[in-house]
Amino acid sequence: MTAPSAPSTPPALSAALQGLDAIHEDLAGFYRDLHRHPELSFEEERTAGRIAERAAAYGYTVTSGVGRTGVVAVLENGDGPTVLLRADIDALPVKEQTELPYASATDGVMHACGHDMHVTCLLGALKLLADARADWHGKVIGVFQPAEEVGGGAQAMVDDGLFDRFGRPDVVLGQHVAPLPAGLIGCHKGPAFAATDALLVRMFGKGGHGSRPEATVDPVVMAASTVMRLQTVVSREVAGGETAVVTVGALNAGTKDNIIPDEAELRINIRTYTPEVRTRVLAAVERIVRGEAVVAGAHREPEFSVIDSFPVVVNDGAAVDRTMAAIGGALGAGKVLDPGPVTGSEDVGILATAAQVPLCYWLFGGADPAAVAAAQAAGTFEKDIPSNHSPHFAPQVGPTLTTGVTALTAAALEWLGAARDGAGG
């Protein structure tokens, strides 16, 4: 999908974007500060405070503590449509290895998914929209959502009365930085981000001395066999035209080389796009885990618990067409593409589903275009270009920041009402 370029930039957007150059350096400094001070899910106290302070200074009515650590910034500007713009704010338990001068000052915690960039872009868009309020009418709701990484933040904000307290929007808009070349936008209609099921599995054996394995039921061997068998789920139980991913992200067992432990723990991550495939894959994973326990002679059945779960993100087709046309017109021809479905997951869809409104959620590039081109030419993209959740992931500040602010501003103004009689509400 390539968005058609607009014949000219709409007057409201043109007026809003005139202020971008003036705030770019300030936003870049804010981004670096957030990157240096990451906070884990539902612990984003400093981050929320910095957001609230900025949004209030821009003229928004700000409410903190929504969904525990979320922030909602509202600007009412006369009668008209209501647009919800969303950014997630939490970091990851990753030890940063970028060697940037503004690298994380918190050992073992990093903005390895780019949420600091999401926050900064949304604040930039809120500033431009506030300054250009004479050119549009309606209501802007800026939602700074906590705990996306654990799949709980969006639901927490909904449960805390997000729409009852601040109004129901006409559309939910948002974006996620990705290892695309900086300056590009990617958006896919329909199922766009995979559903996730993360499972904690405990497998039980019988411990003993490493010199006498015959007197034990070794849960390490049981778990290792399970990991290998799980690799057949996608290749042998999912049709070639369907998509699924099964990853064992952690296997933990034992304390010493000559002690066979009593149990092993697996952490399994599953990605799917349809309810039918999800049901089939979950059933296959459970069957294999239980089967391996039986084969190993376990005296106790495995235990399963859900770590977190994300629904599939479904982009409304008409909303994508409308929004991408506006963004493509703002950024220029060839800047918008269809990346296909993404196997990553997001909880932003919960906001749109709960409000029963269309969603348009897109990617924006954060990687050095020259480095991407070189890696693609050499066939080393996966090796040379760090992806989200990597300890080396670090979006290029420019033009990533400019692109993200422009995209959100253009998208919001497309859905807001145009100024009537040359004045805002």
Which alpha helices (DSSP H) does 110-212 contain, by range?
115-131, 153-159, 162-166
Q: What is the CATH number of domain 11-193+312-418?
A: 3.40.630.10
Percentage with pLDDT > 90 across the chain: 94
Residues across the chain: 425
Q: Which residue in the list 96, 135, 148, 237 is annotated as catalytic?
A: 148
Q: What is the pTM of this model?
A: 0.91
Residue 148 a catalytic site member: yes
244 CB-near residues (< 8 Å, 6+ apart):
233, 234, 238, 270, 271, 272, 273, 277, 281
For the chain, which residues make up each domain, given as ranges?
Answer: 11-193+312-418, 195-310
Residues 93-137 have pLDDT tens digits of 999 999 999 999 999 999 999 999 999 999 999 999 999 999 999
Residue 90 a catalytic site member: yes
Helices 397-415 and 115-131: crossing angle in degrees, nearest 10, is 50
Q: Coil, helix or strand for 378?
A: helix
183 CB-near residues (< 8 Å, 6+ apart):
331, 335, 365, 369, 399, 400, 403
Catalogue the E-assigned strands of 78-210: 82-88, 136-145, 171-181, 185-186, 190-193, 195-204, 208-209
Residue reference for tokens 């199922």: 191
Q: Are strands 171-181 and 359-367 parallel, antiparallel or unpaired?
A: parallel
Which alpha helices (DSSP H) does 238-316 contain, by range?
275-296
C-beta of residue 148 within 8 angstroms of C-beta of residue 347: yes
Residues 351-393 have pLDDT tens digits of 999 999 999 999 999 999 999 999 999 999 999 999 999 999 9
Predicted local confidence at residue 421, as pLDDT: 44
Residues 203-212 have pLDDT tens digits of 999 999 999 9
| CA separation for the pair 100, 160 (Å, rounded) | 37
Q: What is the mean pLDDT of the chain?
A: 95
Q: Which residue in the list 44, 90, 96, 292 is annotated as catalytic?
A: 90
Asked: is 195-310 a CATH 3.30.70.360 domain? The reply is yes
